[in-house]
Amino acid sequence: MIAAWVRDAGRKVRQQSAPVTYALIVACCLVFLISPCSGLNPSYGTGDGLIAAQRVYFERWGVVPVELLSGKPRAALTPVTALFVHGSWLHLLGNMLFLYVFGMMVEERMGHLQYGLFYLGCGCLALLAYAIAHADSGQTLVGASGAISAVLGAFLYLFPKARVTSLFPFLFFLPLRFPAWVVLPFWVALQWAAAGQERQGPGVAYLAHLVGFSLGFVYAWGCRHTQMGRRVARPWKGGGGRRAG
């Protein structure tokens, strides 16, 4: 399933600026283009030399669970750097499509600074959770999927009735429009089923997707209720007391 566009609820928002979402997309694309994974940088060579360069690149900037949890100083920043590293063109384009479709509306609702911190924080926590679950693994984990999953979780809470155009492989990729409260829980169910089949450590980080989505949903819920509580506690202009409801 590939989410292609959001209609109705996002029509006005898409005309506004979303600088953080755009900056994240540009950063991920630039990092990929200059990396050995794109195949466009001649300095990395070809053939076996290129494959070796890619392996070193992933180990340097990606999350290696056994190294991260061992407390190695070099690995401490990899939960951040791994969010901007992608392994292939398909990996990059798929993540950037989801970020573009859902990120702008979430950014508009949260505000630019809060959205940026939310994206990085949830992404790092999702990668850390995956590393803990695969503590003995020496394989690398890269990609923005955990952070983007958090954006999807926040989107579901903030815009449950927004119409999402989706493509389903088992329906011959026919474009169909459903509310976010139908599409995104279905996506979560797919991630849950796939995560249950993981047996050999890092591959596609389905667990990171689930953790990120849960963090995003809970964060949006918590912010909404905190803001409501502040409005309720705001003092009356004319009296001296506080609003009771």
DSSP string, 167-235: EEGGGTTEEEEEEHHHHHHHHHHHHHHHHTT--SS-SS-HHHHHHHHHHHHHHHHHHHHHHHHHHHHSB
Has residue 104 been placed in a domain? yes
Show the tokens assigned to 137.
């693994």
Has residue 206 been placed in a domain? yes
The CA dihedral of 126, 132, 138, 141, to the nearest 10 degrees, is 0
Has residue 242 been placed in a domain? no
pLDDT of residue 203: 47
Mean pLDDT, residues 151-165: 84
Three-state DSSP class for 5? strand
What type of residue is 168? F
pLDDT of residue 74: 86
pLDDT band at 191 (very low <50, low <70, confident <90, very high): low
pLDDT of residue 162: 80
Euclidean distance between CA atoms 241 and 245, whole angstroms = 12
**Which structural domain, as residue segments, surrounds residue 133?**
2-233
Average pLDDT over the chain reads: 78
pLDDT band at 240 (very low <50, low <70, confident <90, very high): very low
244 or 224: which carries more pLDDT confidence?
A: 224
Euclidean distance between CA atoms 192 and 185, whole angstroms = 10
Nearest Cα to 137, choosing from 211, 209, 77, 68? 68
Nearest Cα to 209, choosing from 97, 138, 122? 122
pLDDT of residue 180: 63
For residue 49, how many other CB atoms are within 10 A of its CB? 11
pLDDT of residue 170: 37
Has residue 216 been placed in a domain? yes
Euclidean distance between CA atoms 153 and 131, whole angstroms = 21
pLDDT band at 234 (very low <50, low <70, confident <90, very high): very low
Q: Is the pLDDT of residue 69 over 60?
A: yes
Counting residues of the chain whose pLDDT is more than 90, the rounded percentage is 47
pLDDT band at 237 (very low <50, low <70, confident <90, very high): very low
Q: Is the pLDDT of residue 176 over 80?
A: no
Lowest-confidence pick of 58-67, 102-111, 206-215, 233-242: 233-242
Three-state DSSP class for 81? helix
Mean pLDDT, residues 5-27: 70
Q: Is the pLDDT of residue 61 over 50?
A: yes
Lowest-confidence pick of 117-126, 136-145, 189-198: 189-198
Q: Is the pLDDT of residue 244 over 60?
A: no
Total count of domains within the chain: 1
Euclidean distance between CA atoms 78 and 141, whole angstroms = 9
Has residue 239 been placed in a domain? no
Nearest Cα to 145, choosing from 228, 83, 196? 83
What CATH code is carried by the domain that includes residue 34?
1.20.1540.10
